[in-house]
A and B are shown apart, each in its own frame.
Chain A
Amino acid sequence: MKEEGKHKKAKKYGMVINLDECTGCGACMVACMAENNVPFKEDESNKLDSIAWMRVYKLTNGKPYPEAEICYLPRPCMHCEGEHGHAPCVSVCPATATDYNHETGIVSQIYTRCFGCRYCMVACPYHARYFNWWDPVWPEESTKYLSPNVSPRMRGVVEKCSFCFHRYQLAMDKAYLEGRTVLEEDEYQTSCAQACPAGAITFGDLNNPEHKVHQLAKPDNKHGGRPGNPNVFRLLERLGTNPKVYYMSSREWVRQAGDNYINNEDLAKNYRH
């Protein structure tokens, strides 16, 4: 057991989202809601209180007609590693209701421990965390489709994307029964990656050179996971949140929109590492 533990390298599950391919169709948002028992209410048009673990943002290049361009950017939880697992949200939670799992790199959220202080929401610069302002109410008939793999949340607690952690657990259980401890790339895929009609989301172990995410992002673990692929970037890289969601775009303005730069900075220098 000890021997095995020594050899087993920690996994770092992450995503690469190809923004050239993403069409903004929103299937990932719904795939997530359907997988994770996300509640809904009568009016969801106020996006400031609408729970969407995955949210697709619409970016514009700021130019006038007809030079205007748009780009869609799906935003799950980034599962930030920070330094040594000190994700912005994890280190602030007073009740340890959200945690960094060093085995998988996944930032968990324990609904039944969260007491709803929302400090983690304030800490997250990606607005990836959502509070249950209301009691979740499903129409009578609709409770039938609720999945037993993800517990519905109660009013007054925070929730967020879990990288579909229950799918990891189910895959591990299955592997374990078959006498394996390692998962194949396709054994654990998130609901959004699986559903994306454009195939824009790639999910896997960033630490595993065999996995597509590793090959696409070429993360440099010596430098906080910085992408080695010049077309790949992370949101707010400069804050040091060390996210595990990478974005890929062939368009310069899109890559620039991923971070803040002050006006006299040499931008080119910043995303060419």
Chain B
Amino acid sequence: MKIGRRSFLSFVIGGAAGTAITPLPWKLMDDSSIWSQNWPWTPVPPDGEYSQSNSVCTLCPGGCGITVRKVDDRVVKIEGMKGHPVNDGGLCLMGLSGLQLLYGPTRVKTPLKRVGKRGEGKWEKISWDEAISEVAKKLADIRSNGGSHTVGSIVDSENGTVPNLFKRFLTTYGSPNFMTMPSIQDSYAMTLQVMQGVSAQVGFDAENADFILSFGSGIIDGWGSPVRMFKANSAWKANGKKVVQIEPRLSNTAAKSDKWIPINPGTEAALALGLANVIITNSLDSKKISQSSGFDSFKKLVQNEYGTEKVSKITGINSATIVSLAKNFARASKPLAICGKGQGSIPGSLNEFMAVHALNALVGNINKEGGVWAVTDTKYINWPKPEMDSIAENGIQKERIDGAGSEYPHTKSLLNRLAEVINSGDGSLEALFVSGANPLYSMPDSKAIKNAFDNIPFIVSFSSYMDETASNADLILPNHVYLERYEDVPTPAGLSKPIVGLTRPVVKPQFNTKHVGDVVMLIAKALGGGIADAFPWESYEACLKETLGVKWDILVEKGFEFNGDKCILEGDFNFYPDAMKSLSDFSSVSIEGSAISYPLILIPYDTIRLANGYIGDPPFAIKAVEDTVLKGKNSCVEINPKTGKELGLTEGRYASLLTPRGKAKVRVHLYEGIMPGIVALPRGLGHTAYDKYLAGKGCNFNELIGSTEDPVSGLDEAWGIRARLTKV
């Protein structure tokens, strides 16, 4: 066969054309692209009918209003509620990630009973009936053996219907041991008690202040009602109001302030009194307030003991700065001093709170526009006093296990003392309920807490999530999450105008969970007698409706309601309560550990991107954490480059962080925004429970620090601990 040029070209072109006109290659190409666009493992979210509903976020005490967007019966987005008095449309990253908690892998989906060893993670699914009768039987046994006072509960706060149901349950059962998670609210309440003689919560009219002097409060790091503080901060900026931040580390709050003044940790009270001295000495104080009782003693105290030079030496802040700061503060028309460090989850030193409160009083801003208010939740919970049987009467007379109300007469709850009391054998608990709290993670000195819990034979968790405490419980009776339930939301932390909000189900419960309020009532009913009679409601929802009365309809309609005007408590201001006598000779807040073996001071820091309470960071939030905070499996510590140089530590290096209480492997982040000699560690990492998106990341600050009792209140005042950082 011979081919000519012609036939050759025909062959080539014909061959190519022939292949091309068969549908095969085209079809295959098309199919391949369609297939690669519709991989069966890539989800296709179904469409449907769109709707919206309003509710309240309860992931922190912020109380933000939310609007959820739904497609059929799925919630697809949480947004801030426009016009809500707390947040007006804005939302924090936790609130925005809420759906990952509702639909997340970390939920406890049905009642669980432990089958393996504690904390081993072996569970048996049980029915609600079984679960409730098991608890009731146990409690009946304890009660009949005369141990009713050895049953305790830990809840997130003392406000609202759910904590009050727990309290009522314990009361009628016969136990005084109703405990709450600590926070700066405790210290503030205590301060108002000793200096004004009122039993109230603190409120700040932050929006109207024009000079904000913050003693380490994380105004934009999650302090108070976080979104509300963000909004206030922006308003200050827009209106040229001044913010001065005092703390050893350039936190986000310090960075946003007009002036950052680093201070030696633990000496804030001295600064506040030193400022008071300058103000009084220069007659810049409010004339009216200086008529108050104790003023002369206070004046004597600050003039004798807190002269500028001395305070400068104590705090490490130069005298001129102290003097000018005092003057500018006093001369501002609406100055406001605030304290309670970071996000406010460690109560802190009462001296500091009193000193700062005195400073506010000096410039006459107590219960004034732009000032500090003593507010009361106009009580909406008015349940009839329960009938008590003799066991109950007897039981509640017993001393509380944590010594609150007896050893420390003004304090209501001292969870920080629980571990030591149990571990030293000074007291014991036979059963413990934990609801809306995760003490095994969020209380300082995790090891001691763990030991104490090991000594409690029966622990019941009501958690919606497999958190650290739930994983170490004997029984988990999972609550609905906030998007599945009704619940009152009492006044958010630090708000000057009390409001009550209502969180309500925007979807039906996704799993076999029950409202904790219903469960408490079911247990009470199972116990019978006076305990059962104390809970006449047919369900939690009925209880809530009845409790809120006329407010119910408004709340359902609007989501929130102001609590009326009669919320400010005046009281008589006392500048020099007994508690302040200890300040006649200043000593800084005690920091555990010897300076020789532990040359550095470890302080925690809070960031809005890390939750450190009961709720763990959901995947979106942890994704937003910077790589200078968390790298792979390790937390990063911040140290000044000078400190780094002394220790031979460079950026990103692994190091071992040692304190008298614990040890952690960390990575180093050199940061010019921190005082030399200080190591700062983020809080909110180092979870061992929840899901794979959170567990095993970084280290928990609480494993490295112990609790130090404030001599007056018994509350935990430790904000730091001595530490050593070495190369590994």
Do the two chains touch directly in the complex (Cβ atoms below 8 Å apart)?
Answer: yes
Q: Within 8 Å of chain B (Cβ to Cβ): is A240?
A: no
Cβ–Cβ < 8 Å partners of A145 in chain B: 74-77, 99-100, 102-103
CB proximity to A under 8 Å, residues B6-50: 36-37, 39, 41-48
Q: Which of A193-201, A231-239, A258-266 contacts B (4 or more CB under 8 A)?
A: A193-201
Pair B45/A152 contact, Cβ less than 8 Å: yes
Judge whether B43 and A152 touch: CB under 8 Å: yes
Q: How far is the CA of A45 from the CA of B45 in the complex (A)?
A: 28
Q: Are A68 and B673 in contact (CB under 8 A)?
A: yes
Provide a sorted-by-A list of 22 A–B residue pairs whose CB atoms are within 8 angstroms.
A25-B230, A25-B252, A26-B609, A26-B621, A30-B93, A30-B623, A33-B623, A34-B620, A40-B693, A44-B619, A45-B631, A47-B626, A65-B640, A67-B672, A135-B42, A145-B77, A145-B99, A146-B43, A146-B76, A154-B42, A198-B230, A198-B234
A112 CB-CB contact with B under 8 Å: yes
Given the complex of chains A and B, what is the CA–CA distance between A67 and B227 in angstroms? 28
**Segment touching A, from B207-215, B254-262, B440-448, B497-505:** B254-262
Smallest CB separation, A156 vs chain B (Å): 8
Decide if A136 is an interface residue (CB 8 Å cutoff).
Answer: yes
Report whether A154 and B36 are in contact in the complex, using a CB–CB cutoff of 8 Å: yes
Instruction: Type the 1/0 row for A120-150, where 1 means its CB is closer than 8 Å to any CB of B.
Output: 0000000000000001111111111111100
Chain B 250-270, CB-CB to A under 8 Å as 1, else 0, gives 101001100010100000000
B71 at interface, CB cutoff 8 A: yes
Residues of B in contact (CB 8 Å), total 79
Q: Chain B interface: which of A56-64, A83-91, A204-212?
A: A56-64
| Residue contact B45 to A148, C-beta cutoff 8 Å | yes
> Are A23 and B230 within 8 A (Cβ)?
yes
Q: Which residues from chain A sit less than 8 Å from chain B, CB to CB?
A: 20-21, 23-27, 29-31, 33-35, 37, 40, 42-47, 50, 52, 56, 58, 60, 63-72, 112, 135-148, 151-156, 191, 194-200
Q: Are B104 and A23 in contact (CB under 8 A)?
A: no
Given known pairs A65-B676, A68-B673, A140-B105, the reply for A25 and B623 (CB within 8 Å) is no
Indicate which residue in B71, B93, B625, B692 contacts A27 across the interface (CB closer than 8 Å). B93
**Residues of chain B from 51 to 105 with CB closer than 8 A to chain A in the complex:** 69, 71, 74-80, 87, 89-93, 96-97, 99-100, 102-105
Please give the distance in Å from B244's CB to the nearest CB on chain A.
Answer: 14
Complex-state Cα separation, A72 to B69, whole angstroms:
30
B36 touches A46 (CB 8 A): no
Label chain A's interface by main secondary structure: loop
Across the A-B interface, give the 3 residue pairs with the lowest CB-CB distance, nearest first: A197-B90, A68-B672, A197-B230
> Does A40 contact B619, Cβ atoms closer than 8 Å?
yes
Would you call B217 an interface residue if the criterion is a C-beta within 8 Å of the partner chain's C-beta atoms?
Answer: no
Inter-chain contact B672/A23, CB cutoff 8 Å:
no
Contact across chains for B672 and A29 when beta carbons are under 8 A apart: no
> For the complex, is B674 an interface residue (Cβ under 8 Å from A)?
yes
Residues of B within 8 A of A156 (CB): 36
Q: Mark B610-643, 1 if CB is under 8 A from A, else 0.
A: 0000000001111111111011100000001110
CB distance from A142 to the nearest CB of B (A): 5
User: Complex: how many Å from CA A102 to CA B260?
Assistant: 46
Cβ–Cβ contact A42 & B620, under 8 A: no
Q: Which of B79, B226, B628, B693 contacts A42 (CB 8 A)?
A: B693
- Tell me which of A21, A34, A37, A71 has the highest count of chain B C-beta atoms within 10 A of its own C-beta: A34
Q: Report the minimum CB–CB distance from A58 to chain B (whole Å).
A: 6
* A37 B45 Cβ-Cβ under 8 A: yes
18 more A-B contacts (CB under 8 A) besides A45-B627, A148-B46?
A: A21-B238, A23-B252, A30-B624, A33-B620, A34-B96, A34-B99, A46-B632, A60-B672, A65-B672, A141-B103, A142-B104, A143-B43, A145-B100, A191-B77, A196-B90, A197-B80, A197-B230, A198-B234
Give the residues in chain B near A52, CB-CB below 8 Å: 623-624
Are the C-beta atoms of B90 and A27 separated by less than 8 Å? yes
- B91–A27 touching, CB < 8 Å: yes
Q: How far is the CA of A2 from the CA of B491 in the complex (A)?
A: 58
In the bound complex, CA of A112 to CA of B45 (Å): 16
> Distance in Å from the Cβ of A37 to the closest Cβ of chain B?
7
Chain B min CB distance to A33 (Å): 5
Residues on the B chain within 8 Å of A200, using CB: 234
Residues of B within 8 A of A153 (CB): 42
Q: How far does the Cβ of B609 sit from chain A's closest Cβ, in whole Å?
A: 5
Interface residues of B (CB under 8 A from A): 36-37, 39, 41-48, 69, 71, 74-80, 87, 89-93, 96-97, 99-100, 102-105, 107, 220, 226-227, 230-231, 233-234, 237-238, 250, 252, 255-256, 260, 262, 510, 608-609, 619-628, 630-632, 640-642, 671-676, 691-693, 697
Complex: how many Å from CA A43 to CA B510?
A: 27
Residue of A nearest to B46 (CB): A148
Most buried by B among A37, A44, A138, A145: A145
Which of B43, B79, B630 counts the most chain A CB atoms within 10 A? B43
Q: Which residues of A contact B42 (CB under 8 A)?
A: 135-136, 152-154
Tell me if B608 and A26 are in contact (CB < 8 A).
yes
With both beta carbons as reference points, the residue of chain B lying nearest to A64 in the complex is identified as B672
Question: Given A44-B622, A140-B105, A148-B71, A195 and B693 touching (CB < 8 A)?
Answer: no
List of A residues within 8 angstroms of B100 by Cβ: 142, 145
Minimal Cβ-Cβ distance residue in A for B698 = A45
Instruction: Give the CA-CA distance A10 to B102 in the complex, in Å.
Output: 42
Cβ contact of A23, chosen from B43, B233, B260, B510, cutoff 8 A: B233
Given contacts A23-B233, A45-B630, A65-B674, A135 and B104 within 8 Å (CB-CB):
no
Report chain B residues within 8 Å CB of A20. Answer: 237
Complex contact B90–A148 (CB within 8 A): no
Q: How far is the CB of B376 from chain A (nearest CB, A)?
A: 28
Give Cα A69 to B256, complex, Å.
9
Residues of B within 8 A of A45 (CB): 625, 627, 630-632, 697
Contacts of B252 in A (CB 8 A): 23-25, 70, 72
CA distance in complex: A42, B619 (Å): 8
Q: Is there contact, CB below 8 Å, between A42 and B220?
A: no
User: For residue B511, which residue of chain A has the nearest CB?
Assistant: A141
Q: Which of chain A's residues has its CB closest to B232's CB?
A: A198
Partner of A154, one of B39, B48, B90, B220: B39
Distance in angstroms between the alpha carbons of A172 and B100 in the assembled complex = 30
Of B47, B74, B255, B691, most buried by chain A (CB within 10 Å of CB) is: B255
Contacts of B693 in A (CB 8 A): 40, 42
- B675's partner among A43, A65, A67, A146 (CB-CB below 8 A) is A65
Roughly how many angstroms separate A77 CA and B363 CA in the complex, as a whole number?
A: 48
Scoring B69, B102, B260, B624 by chain A CB atoms within 10 A of each residue's CB, the highest score goes to: B624
Q: How far is the CA of A63 from the CA of B673 in the complex (A)?
A: 9
Contact A68 B36, beta carbon cutoff 8 Å: no
Contacting pair B48 A148 (CB below 8 A): yes
Question: What distance in Å separates the Cβ of A56 from its nearest Cβ neighbour in chain B?
Answer: 8
Residue in A30, A137, A139 whose beta carbon sits within 8 Å of that of B96 in the complex: A30
Which residues of B are found within 8 Å of A66, using beta-carbon distances? 250, 260, 262, 675
**B624: nearest chain-A partner, CB-CB:** A26
Q: Which residues of B contact A67 (CB under 8 A)?
A: 672
**Is the Cβ of B620 less than 8 Å from the Cβ of A199?**
no
